[in-house]
Structure 1
Amino acid sequence: MKKLLIAAGIGLAAMTSAHVHAATYTIDTQGAHAFVQFRIQHLGYSWLLGRFNTFDGQFEYDAAAPEKSAIEVVIDTASIDSNHAERDKHLRSEDFLNVKEHPQARFKSTGFRSTGEGSGVISGDFTLNGVTRSISFPVERIGEGEDPWGGYRAGFMGKTTLTLADYDITYNLGPASAQVEIELHIEGIRQ
């Protein structure tokens, strides 16, 4: 009986510790189940849409302890794609992303506050064009569960608006183009 109680105690401790620690997920960029997209007004007349084709990262997540969530994403700024080669060349130049000097943008979270079931606000440091600023934005869990290949996945989305001048991007496209909207859609594979 004593051995049974000890075994049960060890099993309960193992189950409890599994819920205390967040699981690590690798963002599924290989299967193209993650996207970093942007949208900015063009002279106030239309929207220019685009994305970054190359990025990587991981996140920590535990539904039982969402306050322990964390994420880090590294973006290859030269991979910007607005569906127009000449415009992309200009966006890579010193007028905008200056990819020769600053080949990466990075977001690394510093905190997470839950705002309800599957939603919250993530805070962190975002570095773009060599400038790092603290930002916060809402995130939403899309879903999680087993995949057809025996793995476990979780998906989230977040959206924020950045003022370009805050990152020393001051090329004048008019006041309607002073800010860019960034959307992060990620699906991670639990490790």
Structure 2
Amino acid sequence: MLKKTLAALALGSALLSAGHAMAADYAIDKQGQHAFVNFKISHLGYSWLYGTFKDFDGSFTFDAAAPEASKVNVTLNTDSVDTNHAERDKHIRSADFLNVSKNPTATFASTSVKSTGEGTADITGDLTLNGVTKPVVIAAKFIGEGKDPWGGYRAGFEGSTTIKLKDFDITKDLGPASESLELIISIEGVRK
């Protein structure tokens, strides 16, 4: 009888532990603004121009024990671009760049996640920008996870990728130093 009880307790403990190691779904913390989609691009080869997208939403699935089972989906409002200069932002929203009247959103949907080391992974996915969909690889780093002060559970990541503007039919000639831009992403999610 004691052996059966201990076996049942051991099995119950194993199942509970396995539950913590299973994949969990997270909503990007848009309300608390604990997530950022930023970019930088060379300005004529003389300096860096930085910008951000202020309106985006998404979710991810994360399993620390099996990172390759993770998934990411993000949708952003291209009209929310902000480079801290109203006239430049208006130009970026035009047909020369993001063409927001025709393409009001940009999306990223992961297709695979490959662990590259302790707490790092390459997230491959389809980026749709300016009406064009191309595969990109985001070099991601796990920042941390745990309980928050409000009774929730959170996980956070950062990542970056470089894209060529011409790959997304952005053909405005800004000179050779400005043919590519770096996307810098910082995401914190709240477990659903």
Shared fold, TM over 0.5: yes
Q: TM-score, normalised by structure 2?
A: 0.93
For 1:39, give the aligned amino acid: K
**RMSD over aligned Cα atoms:** 1.7
Aligned-residue offset at 1:16:
5.6
Aligned position for 2:51:
50
1:143 aligns with 2:140: no
Q: Distance in 2 between matches of 1:186 and 1:20?
A: 21
- Measured against aligned partners, the alpha-carbon deviations of 1:59-87 in whole angstroms (never above 9, x if no partner) come to 00011111111101111000000001111
For 1:40, give the aligned amino acid: I
Aligned-residue offset at 1:3:
6.9
For 1:159, give the aligned amino acid: S
Q: Distance in 2 between matches of 1:107 and 1:54?
A: 14
Specify the SS of the correspondent of 2:113: strand
Q: Distance in 2 between matches of 1:63 and 1:24?
A: 12
Aligned position for 1:188:
189
For 1:31, give the aligned amino acid: G
Aligned position for 1:170:
171
Aligned-residue offset at 1:11:
2.3
For 1:142, give the aligned amino acid: I
Q: TM-score, normalised by structure 1?
A: 0.93
Aligned-residue offset at 1:9:
6.9
Q: Distance in 1 between matches of 2:34 and 2:17?
A: 31
Q: Distance in 2 between matches of 1:59 and 1:137?
A: 14
1:35 aligns with 2:36: yes
Q: Distance in 1 between matches of 2:161 and 2:23?
A: 25
What are the equivalent positions in structure 2 for 1:10-25 lying under 5 Å apart? 11-12=12-13, 14-15=15-16, 18-19=19-20, 21-25=22-26
Q: Distance in 1 between matches of 2:83 and 2:45?
A: 17
Alignment coverage as a number of residue pairs: 191
For 2:135, give the aligned amino acid: S
Structure 1 unmatched ranges of 5 or more: none
Aligned position for 2:155:
154
Aligned-residue offset at 1:42:
1.1
Q: Which runs of 4+ in 1 moved over 6 A?
A: none
Q: Distance in 2 between matches of 1:79 and 1:128?
A: 14
